[in-house]
Structure 1
């Protein structure tokens, strides 16, 4: 009987995913649309149905990303790896659906990931070369409710969701002009040293945004910490935690300014109340935290070509050294928008990142090597990353991003002597 119940629930959830997929594809096939090179999504407007549903308060979204990486030199092996992510979502605007004032919105999102890791299989480094790799199964990514409360300046969202959707990253999206997860998303030592989870891992929580002024905003959140559910396919559809160890509370101050050279600045702090094992000891640490600074600033704008500009970004993040294997992250780079007059939506991106292992972890690796009477490699202090990529907007819904990544000291975190690696990559993104 129990197996039958499990089968029925699995079949129901798989049917929901299939239904969402068909909703985003079959109408397009049935429609007589021929503007697939110029429309904003691959599946189009479904003969007008998609636009009508959106007007009525039901908005369907979907996107695909595929990332191929070939290790051309150094690392562990010469070969290629591919990973992909498909995201399907639907948002219900309750104000439109029921004719109510400020009734809020409900968001449902499902993710499916497949593929293999170039970092694990080919290079041996810590910072994932493919940002969409991890958690290779179908899962519920978000089921949340959002609305303004008391005043338009106060926005609240609660439910089951990923922390990084609203905190820890730059709202401008500048960092996802890169394929390496060291840039795209939030600094990875946040999740390495606390209960902060990487997308698409979701947790029960609440997020509050308050507009202090047109330029300043305060963001505060609280999320359940459940390490046993991270990357656990058996928990893919469970909103409740398997084992709660504490609560992680991030607080973030955001400053944005418009004008000739717009910019975005974020400073944040987070604290996880969980008790965790201390690195290099059997004792436990009660609570762990970290802080970060993120910047996206336009530094040049063409006086003669509308849309052509150069933005510089910076990232700094530090995590608790008592329990985090990844103590510091530094990132910086530039993105040129509209590099050529005839390519208004293309980009050129160049970034440099430095991930610093915890000295306690390094000491443990060295002590273990001495105990085993094996040589410990003469390593520098960090894994470093250089990425150069070109974003080619092939159609309004399709972006191709060829890129080169140079990984310096790939074995910095594992304590292995691995040659620097040159990786050739291609990222494909499509709005469904």
Structure 2
């Protein structure tokens, strides 16, 4: 039976969530000067100078809220709306400043809370979540890590309890989070779908290394524990140690960045999970699952008379194990226009297209099951496709409003169901607390 929370529509308990995040950061928020509210970088402000003083001493508090409301206007499973939200609170300890030491490192502590309803599961029936912040609806520890340089300023080491996707598998520029669908914002989803790869907010014990060959070239290598029984398990929300280790996932990533008038970022990555997994369509197991990916973000134009106005092209190509992953390929391309209007220096306009390919072996299993039950299998294409258009309106330095339009083609490609194409209207709200 679906949970009552998933059946709630878009009338959100938004205010309590916002007050929770704001009050955790600043109990005196209600006394803030209204004249300063629209200009400050964060909703809760400088706390009467305390926040800036702590930052100077090496203690930095951060907080973010995101709320995503979607309405399925046509197609899919049924018309209705869903709302989901994410609150992230963190504190960063700069040990160099705190102890007047050289290269003492940095400690990061982050907690996360998610609530809300599932637009894709309840309303559309597709694989690529139309709300990137839906999933894992509970409060959890998402990072407790230590980072410093080692032997040389060019080598950085980070270890602890963290999401491997924080530093690997995504574009550092953050350009893909100008979209609301999780297929764009974050990392290619076939990574986590077909291996022990974990993205935020799911965290694991691990260690990562970054080595700078030059300012433009960097190599990243990491190793993370694989623990499927703890993934998305609320009873493990505050447990750093694994419950049942099945193996280790090792990603390797080569990064190239351009820093000229047309900046760019390129990542070539490979990963391997040593865990055993069941071969799709068989009772046999395979030892190890892996994949590779290519990510790119390149500025192709900038206005000579309007600093900040530029056009970026991006692309993703990711391939996962065909033996054990239900999601074998992901491709996406798109454009992002920064500062679309001279009077809106921090706004963005984004258009993207993505294609997610199910494993043919999974499709064979679905067809065989339908035939065994005397049912007809729908005439499906071979992929779920996504078109998304969004506009990021930076209302204040701390408040972003993002009207969003998504069109999902063949939502039932992964489930083997005949579901009509869906038109989804959305609004994303982001706040720096």
Q: TM-score, normalised by structure 2?
A: 0.94
Tell me if structure 2 keeps the 8 A contact 1:245–1:275: yes
Is the 2:23–2:29 contact (alpha carbons within 8 Å) kept by the matching residues of 1? no
1:53-92 equivalences in 2 (<5 Å):
53-92=54-93
Residue 413 of structure 1 aligns with which residue? Answer: 414
- Whether the 8 Å contact between 1:28 and 1:45 is mirrored in structure 2 is no
Aligned match of 2:345: 344
C-alpha displacement of 1:28: 3.1
Give how far 1:20 is off.
8.1
Residues 103/310 of structure 1: CA separation in 2 closer, same or farther (3 Å cut) = same
Confirm or deny: 8 A CA contact 1:203 1:224 kept in the other structure.
yes
Q: 2: distance between equivalents of 1:425 and 1:199?
A: 22
Q: How far apart, CA to CA, are the structure 2 residues paired with 1:32 and 1:368?
A: 64
1:429 aligns with 2:430: yes
CA shift, 1:337, in A, is 0.3
Match of 1:365 in 2: 366
CA distance in 2 between counterparts of 1:147 and 1:418 reads 50
* Deviation, structure 1 residue 25: 2.4
Give the SS at the match of 2:37. Answer: coil
Question: Does the CA-based 8 Å contact 1:27-1:47 persist in structure 2?
Answer: no
Name the CA distance, whole Å, in 1 between partners of 2:421 and 2:290. 32
The 8 Å contact of residues 21 and 65 in structure 2, kept in 1 or not, is answered as no
Seen in structure 2, the aligned counterparts of structure 1 residues 31 and 398 have a Cα distance that, compared at 3 Å, is closer
8 A Cα contact 1:21 1:88, kept in partner? no
Query: What displacement does 1:258 show?
Result: 1.0
d(CA) in 1 for partners of 2:32 and 2:266? 45
Q: What is the CA distance between 1:304 and its match in structure 2? A: 1.3
Show the counterpart of 1:294. 295
> Is the partner of 1:415 in helix, strand or coil?
coil
Structure 1 Cα separation of the partners of residues 80 and 26 of structure 2: 34
Aligned to 1:14: none
Give the equivalent residue in structure 2 for 1:8: none
**What aligned pairs does 1:10-409 form with structure 2 within 5 A after superposition?**
22-32=23-33, 34-409=35-410
| Residue 32 of structure 1, CA deviation | 4.6
Contact 1:315 1:332 in 2 (8 A): yes
* CA distance in structure 2 between the partners assigned to 1:58 and 1:27 by the alignment: 19
CA displacement at 1:22 relative to structure 2: 3.7
Unaligned 5+ residue runs, structure 2?
Answer: 1-18
Task: Say which SS state the counterpart of residue 222 (structure 2) adopts.
Answer: strand
CA contact (8 A) 2:166 2:199 kept: no
How far has the Cα of 1:303 moved from its partner?
1.1
1:355-407: per-residue Cα shift (whole Å, max 9, x none)?
A: 00000000000011111110100000000000000000000000000010000
Q: 1:27 Cα shift? A: 3.6
CA distance in 2, matches of 1:219, 1:319: 20
Whether the 8 Å CA contact 1:164–1:199 is kept in 2: the answer is yes
From the superposition, tell whether residues 260 and 20 of structure 1 become closer, same or farther in structure 2 (CA, over 3 Å). Answer: closer
Partners of 1:85 and 1:57 lie apart in 2 by 26
Q: Aligned in 2, Cα 1:166/1:382: closer, same or farther, shift over 3 Å?
A: same
Shift of 1:233: 0.2
| Residues 216, 254 of structure 1: 8 Å contact kept | yes
Structure 1 residue 23, shift from structure 2 partner? 4.3
TM-score by length of 1: 0.95
Whether the aligned pair in 2 keeps the contact of 1:33 and 1:47 (CA below 8 Å) is no
Structure 2 CA distance for aligned equivalents of residues 249 and 179 of structure 1: 28
Q: What's the CA shift for 1:59?
A: 0.2
Contact 1:261 1:298 in 2 (8 A): yes
Contact 2:22 2:29 in 1 (8 A): no
Shift of 1:97: 0.5
Separation (CA, whole Å) in 1 of partners of 2:98 and 2:24: 19
Contact 1:33-1:44 within 8 A present in 2 as well: no
CA contact (8 A) 1:32 1:47 kept: no
Q: Find the aligned partners of 1:418 and 1:25 in 2 and give their Cα distance.
A: 47
Aligned length: 415
How many angstroms apart in 1 are the aligned matches of 2:34 and 2:62?
Answer: 19
Distance (Å, rounded) in 2 between the aligned partners of 1:90 and 1:320? 37
Q: Is the 8 A contact 2:221 2:253 kept in 1?
A: yes
- Measure how far apart 1:197 and its partner are: 1.1
C-alpha separation in 2, matches of 1:338 and 1:270: 36
- For 2:11, the equivalent position in structure 1 comes to none
d(CA) in 1 for partners of 2:157, 2:210? 6
